[in-house]
Amino acid sequence: MLSSAVSVPAYAADILLSQGKPVATSTVEKPSLSGDKAVDGDTTTRWASAVSADPQWLRVDLGQPSTVHRVQLNWEAAYAKKYRIEISDDGVHFSVVTTVDNGRGGTDTLSGLNAHGRYLRFVGTTRATKYGYSLWEIQAFGTADSTGDTQPPTRPTGLTTGAVTANSVALSWSPSTDNVGVVGYDVLRAGQVVATSATTSYNDTGLAPDTSYTYAVRARDAAGNTSAASDAVTARTQSGGTGSFVLAAAGDIAERCTASDPNCVHPKTAKLVEAMRPAAVITMGDNQYDDAHLSDFQKYYDTTWGRFKNITHPIPGNHESYDSPKYQGYHDYFGQIATPQGNNYYSWDMGNWHFVALDSNDFVTHELAESPQLTWLKQDLAKNTKGCVAAYYHHPRYSSGDHGDNPDSIALWQLMVDNKVDLVLNGHDHDYERFLPQNTDGRADPNGPVEIVGGTGGADLYDLHATHPTTAKLLRTYGVLKLSMTDTTFATQLIGVDGAVLDSSPTYTCH
C-alpha cells in the first residue's frame, strides 16, 4: 500500500508523536547525518544510512505506549523502493504494521493505520538508488495512551524490607494497576521522596549505621497521576559500616555533540554524575567518539564529563585505539591520569577496595599467547591486601547486546573467578545488563563476580538480543551506574537520565 503526497483525513485527537523523541539506527553515513535529524522537525537536516547496504532501519521511541494512525516519510533523493513500518512494545520484538513495495520517493503518507506500541521502526529492504536510505523527516501521528487520563493507579501493597546492612535497606512491593499503565514508583523515606523506581524494588543505600528508617511507596502513571502511599514499614540498619563511599561509572560516553542539541545525551549523564557527588568516577572505555582525537575530547567530552577529570580513573575502548598514533588523543587529554603506572592498565585503592583498570583491546586479538598485561594482572592480584576487588575494562566477557560474548577473554575471566573478584564493569555494547554472579562457564555461582555492562553514557543505543541464563536485568537505555561501597559490601543502581532508578541490585557481600 502507498499513497504519495495526498491529503488524508486525520483522527480528531491525533498529535505528532515522534518529533524530538530518541532515535536509534542500524547505521549512519557520517555523524552529521544521524538518526535524530529525522525527527527534529527541520526539513533541511536528514538521516542517511550507510551507502550500498540492505537492509537498514531507523527506530523511534515514542516515550510511552501509543496508537499510531498515520506515518509520513519525507524522502531525500536516496529513497526506498521497498520498506515496511513496524511497531513494538519493548523495542526488541516487532510486528509489521504495513509494507510498501512501490516507493517513489518524495513524501509517502501511510494512513488508515491502527498500530499500538511504544517503538516505531522503519525498515528499508530495497534501495531505489545506489546510495543508502535518506529521510528528511519521519513523522508518526496518533494518540498517546495517557492523553486525557485523570485516574490514578491503585495504592501499592505488600511493601516489605529485604536485606538490611549497615548502609542499605532493600525494599520490594506488589505492583499497582492502572487504567493505562504504571510507569514508576516514588520511594518515600520519612515522608519525603528519595527516589523513583521503574520496578517494584529499590535498594536504599548510603544510609547511616544503627539508625531507623521509615518507608512507603506510591505509584505513578504516564499522565502524572499518583496513587495514595502504601502502608509504611520501618527498618533499622546494622551497626558498623565503616569505609563507605559512592562511585559513578559508565562507558561509551561522548558523541560529537553538545548541550545545544536536545538529543545529545552525554550532557545529561554528566548531570547525573554531578548529583551523585561521587568519591571517584570510573569510565569503561570509548570515552570519546568517533576516533577519539584530542580535538574531539576537548570539544565534547571535556565540556561535560571533563568536569570530573581530577577524580576520574579511565580506561580506553576500541575507539581510543582508532586515533593515529593509537591512543594519542586519549593520552594527550587525560595525561598521567590515563597511565599512572606507565601503561593503559593500572590499579588503585579506595577504602577496603582494590580496583583494577584494564585495556581490553589486548583481549580481542584471537592470540593464544599470554599478554604482558595478563602477566601483570596475575602479579597485581597476588599482591592485593584489600578485602574487596573490582575490575573494569571495555569488552565484556558476556553480553546480550549487539557485540555479544567475547570468547577471547576466557583466560581473563578465569583469572577474575580464581582471584575471587567481586565486581566487573564493562562497556562496548550500548545498553545495560546486570548479571548474577557467575563462574567461568557462565553459570550462576555465588562465588563468581557480578558483571555489569554499562555502555549507557551517551553513545547511540544498540539493539538487544536473547538474554543469558544469568541475566538479572537487561535494558536498552541511557544512564549512569551508582556504586555504593563499604568495607565489606557493594550495591549498584542504574540511574536514568530523568533521575529514576531503573535497576537496583541486591547488596552483595565481598568474597
**What percentage of the chain exceeds 90 in pLDDT?**
81
Rounded Cα gap, residues 123 and 46, in angstroms: 16
Q: Is 39 exposed, middle or buried (0-12, 13-18, 19+ CB in 10 A)?
A: buried
Q: Coil, strand, or helix at residue 412? A: helix
How do 388-392 and 423-426 pair as beta strands? parallel
Q: What are phi and psi of 419, to 5 degrees?
A: -100, 15
Q: Which pLDDT tens digit goes with each residue over 379-400?
A: 999 999 999 999 999 999 999 9
E strand or H helix at 233: strand 233-236
Angle 421-427-429 (CA atoms, 0-180°, nearest 5)? 130
Please tell me the predicted confidence (pLDDT) of residue 345: 98
CATH fold of the domain at 3-144: Jelly Rolls (2.60.120)
Q: What are phi and psi of 38, to 5 degrees?
A: -85, -5
Rounded Cα gap, residues 23 and 30, in angstroms: 16
CB contact set of 387 (below 8 Å; sequence gap of 6+): 352, 487, 488, 510
Q: Find, among 130, 138, 23, the residue nearest to 78 by Cα.
A: 130
Cα 161 to its chain centre, rounded Å, is 28
E strand or H helix at 383: helix 372-383
Q: Which pLDDT tens digit goes with each residue over 38-89?
A: 999 999 999 999 888 889 999 999 988 999 999 999 999 999 999 999 999 8
pLDDT for residue 495 is more than 50 = yes
**What percentage of the chain exceeds 70 in pLDDT?**
97
**Lowest mean pLDDT segment, chosen from 146-150, 262-266, 341-345:** 146-150
Helices (H) and strands (E) in the chain, counts: 5, 31
> For the chain, what are the domain ranges?
3-144, 157-236, 249-509
The partner residues of 116 in beta bridges, in order of sequence, read 67
Rounded Cα gap, residues 127 and 105, in angstroms: 11
Per CATH, 3-144 and 157-236 having the same topology is answered no
DSSP string, 35-101: GGGGGSS-TT--EE--TT-S-EEEEEEEEEEEEEEEEEEEE-SS-EEEEEEEEESSSSSEEEEEEES
What mean pLDDT comes out for the span 457-468? 91
pLDDT for residue 2 is more than 60 = no
**Lowest mean pLDDT segment, chosen from 5-19, 310-324, 360-374, 453-467:** 5-19
Q: Which pLDDT tens digit goes with each residue over 289-339?
A: 999 999 999 999 999 999 999 999 999 999 999 999 999 999 999 999 999
3-class SS shares of the chain: helix, strand, coil, % to 5: 15, 40, 45
pLDDT for residue 8 is more than 50 = no
Rounded Cα gap, residues 281 and 128, in angstroms: 48
Residue 207, C-alpha cell as written in the block: 544510609
pLDDT for residue 439 is more than 90 = yes
Please tell me the predicted confidence (pLDDT) of residue 223: 85
- The answer to whether the beta carbons of residues 284 and 319 sit under 8 Å apart is no
Q: Find, among 92, 120, 141, the residue nearest to 400 by Cα.
A: 92
Rounded Cα gap, residues 511 and 501, in angstroms: 26
Amino acid at 266: H
Please tell me the predicted confidence (pLDDT) of residue 4: 39
Q: Please give the model's pTM, rounded to 2 decimal places.
A: 0.75
Q: How many CA atoms lie less than 13 Å away from 316 in the CB half-sphere?
A: 31
The CATH architecture one would assign to domain 249-509 is: 4-Layer Sandwich (3.60)
Rounded Cα gap, residues 23 and 298, in angstroms: 26
- The answer to whether the beta carbons of residues 167 and 209 sit under 8 Å apart is yes
- What CATH class is the domain 157-236? mainly beta
**Mean pLDDT value across the chain:** 93
Rounded Cα gap, residues 10 and 30, in angstroms: 36
Tell me the pLDDT band of 228, cut-offs 50, 70 and 90: very high
Please tell me the predicted confidence (pLDDT) of residue 148: 81
Please tell me the predicted confidence (pLDDT) of residue 53: 81
pLDDT for residue 458 is more than 80 = yes
Please tell me the predicted confidence (pLDDT) of residue 368: 67
Longest pairwise C-alpha distance within the chain: 74
The partner residues of 174 in beta bridges, in order of sequence, read 157
Q: Which pLDDT tens digit goes with each residue over 190-223?
A: 999 999 998 999 999 888 889 999 999 999 998 8
Rounded Cα gap, residues 259 and 235, in angstroms: 42
